[in-house]
């Protein structure tokens, strides 16, 4: 049996990953709905140190990830939908935490954690 070269192995792996992701996408697709991607940033309260800001942001990010998908995640992200199927279809794609340095009204430097998420959802087609 011949061994595959590295290029062929890479191509097979990439094709496999593509087919798996298409199947996952197809499983989420609903008739009469289009799949949409959007992003949102959640702002955490200001704190005295960068470390605190990252910690609070990371805790919120973990909470969101543990919700996986659906209405609870939609509520936590404060997303508004007219259709229950749209609300139930929300899933996280990508997320990270950043910290913003600010000066408050007293002239002190403070820090705010920000949770940045990219999410998917199904939106009802105009043709229905």
Q: What is the pLDDT of residues 5-25, one digit of tens each?
A: 665 656 555 555 554 454 445
Tokens 């909470």 label which residue? 63
Question: pTM for the full model?
Answer: 0.67
**DSSP character string of 34-90:** EEEEEEEEEEEEEESSHHHHHHHHHHHHHHHHHH-BSHHHHHHTT---SSHHHHHT-
More confident residue, 2 or 109: 109
Q: What is the pLDDT of residues 34-84, one digit of tens each?
A: 888 999 999 999 999 999 999 999 999 999 988 877 888 888 888 888 888
Domain 33-124 classification at class level:
alpha beta
């Amino acid at each position: 049996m011949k061994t595959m070269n590295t290029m062929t192995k890479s191509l097979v792996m990439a094709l496999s990953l593509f087919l798996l992701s298409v199947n996952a996408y197809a499983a989420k697709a609903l008739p009469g709905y289009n799949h949409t991607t959007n992003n949102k940033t959640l702002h955490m309260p200001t704190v005295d140190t960068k470390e605190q800001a990252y910690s609070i942001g990371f805790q919120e990010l973990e909470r969101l990830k543990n919700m996986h998908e659906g209405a609870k995640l939609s509520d936590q992200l404060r997303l508004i939908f007219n259709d229950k199927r749209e609300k139930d279809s929300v899933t996280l794609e990508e997320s990270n935490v950043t910290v913003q340095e600010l000066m408050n009204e007293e002239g002190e430097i403070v820090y705010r954690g920000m949770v940045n998420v990219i999410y998917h959802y199904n939106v009802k087609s105009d043709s229905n």
